[in-house]
Amino acid sequence: MRSDLMKKGLERAPHRSLFKAMGYTDEEIARPMIGVVNSANEIIPGHIHLDIIAGDVKAGIRMAGGTPVEFPVIGVCDGIAMGHDGMKFSLASRELIADSIEIMAMAHPFDALVFIPNCDKIIPGMLMAALRLNIPAIFVSGGPMLAGTLDGKSVDLITVFQAVGQVKSKRMTLKELRALEDCACPGCGSCSGMYTANSMNCVTEALGLGLPGNGTILAVQAARRRLAKDTGMKIMELLKKKIRPRDIATLNAFKNAIAVDMALGCSTNTVLHIPAIAHEAGIKLDINIFNEISAKTPNICKLSPAGPHHIEDLDAAGGIQAVMKEISKRGVVYLKALTVSGKRVGDNIKGARVLNREVIRSLERPYTAEGGIAILRGNLAPDGAVVKQSAVSPEMMVNEGRARVFDSEDDAIKAILGGRIKSGDIVVIRYEGPKGGPGMREMLAPTSAIVGMGLDKSVALLTDGRFSGGTQGAAIGHISPEAAEGGPIGLVKEGDIIAIDIPKKKITLKISAAETAKRRKAFKPRPPAIKSGYLMRYASLVTSASTGAIFKEG
């Protein structure tokens, strides 16, 4: 066993003594030692209950003959960090999470690991660590939050973000906002729509690293606790069979994950995280693969913010396994891919059924023939840009308008809420990329303000930053190269005409080659504003959004 390095033999008597100082018995020390990576904290609603999930995981490990050893991991709540400098640290935390887990698992050689994430960057950070370490591993999330209810209608966190714009535009009162605020997030769990957290938990299940149900069983259901116990027991089986993460997360498994991503209409953040996770497995995923798989995979679910349904509806309709079974009819699912259940994908989905055809539509009646995400290119984004096309109104799929240029999210929000953005404008927010931010802030506040002001069917937003999975409308992010790296988005001037053609996957700054050359000659990218601390180091190491914002190597 790997853990013998720290516990077996004459020379390890001092090590065993330290274990005994913590109350471990000889029998516990002799058993396989399973690291339980717990991201519980008291600042993220999706993580407030993870100590309960960890307790159930540990019970499962003990039932199957192992010794659980729990250690913590940091986490940022994107919702609470939103709209201020705290958001600069969210994406940047992903690398710290992966690195800190590597440190713990190498300094203390566990035999296997169980990962307990639930939200945003914690999930991809843990997935990156699992594939980097490549010792037996399995994931169980804390589960999604219930949607709230107000006046007989489902509401959620995004409803509250959009309500801010409604109050500013006199379409909602402060009293109505308070009533909404009190009920939109009714309890623990990852926020209830197909935002980044739930997108990544569903992707983890589709990738094969979480048991069936990982992405959709609700945080408040007893089934979530049973799943945690099953996960604890299953890791012992994976250890015995010597099944490692890279045996599961193959190229075909990543293709499965992307196909499910497209069918569900997941967060555009998956385009950042999936290539970064694949990189740790030694697999190079060009972002063009998203368009290739999208072309073959219909969008069959419209979950908030793209539609009226929430994760609880998806779970009741059959969950991720039912989605995979449906799209497998199109030949986009690799049925022989191995999963942590010990079974192949084809075996897992054999008994799956779609129980609600409004939540999970058939291939014959999809919402759109293509998947939920599109990669755009053009002279404004030579290395690509990303849009959640399933959340774009039909009238905004092809659009041309006047650029309104801002060098920060904060300035753009002031202009939107101040009524300075008009129908037909294209808001351009730059210097918010991985390096320029630094940290690539998620921009739910400006997109929600546009929706709240009633402009989502007439105003587009472009940025070298990124968007929340809760974003809707013509919001195009990850424009690469970013302004801080000398990208063309840095050349845009107020009043320039920009053309967007999502069906043709194009985004064009309509200026002449001569004018482009003139501006390029005069252009000096603005250096990152932060000159100290972790973000300074992050800015010096991070690569483009088009490569998953991974760190430079060597």
The Cβ-side half-sphere exposure at 286, using a 13 Å CA radius, reads: 6
Structure tokens at 321: 């396994």
| One-letter amino acid of 431 | Y
Size of the chain in residues? 554
Sheet architecture: strand order including 112-116? 67-72, 33-38, 112-116, 137-139
**Phi, psi of 370, rounded to the nearest 5 degrees:** -105, 170
- Give the C-alpha separation, 76 to 82, whole Å: 10
| Cα separation, 115 vs 107, whole angstroms | 17
The helix/strand/coil state of 224 is: helix
ω into 14 cis (within 30 of 0): no
As given in the structure block, the two tokens for residue 356 are: 């609600």
Cα–chain center distance at 551: 18
Token pair belonging to 503: 């069906």
29 — phi, psi (to 5°)?
A: -65, -35
Rounded to whole angstroms, what are the CA distances from 317 to 201, 314, 353?
17, 5, 8
The residues, any chain, with a CB within 8 Å of residue 502's CB and separated by 6 or more, are 374, 376, 387, 389, 392, 397, 398, 474
- Rounded distance between C-alpha atoms, residue 211 and residue 319, angstroms: 12
What contacts 9, CB < 8 A, 6 or more positions away?
none
Name the E strands within 86-190: 112-116, 137-139, 148-150, 153-155
CA dihedral (313, 316, 319, 321) positive or negative = negative
CB atoms within 10 A of CB 223: 13
DSSP for 510-521 reads ---HHHHHHHHH
Q: How far is 142 from 214, CA to CA, in rounded Å?
A: 8
Catalytic residue numbers, as ranges: 468
Distance CA 290, CA 386 (A): 10
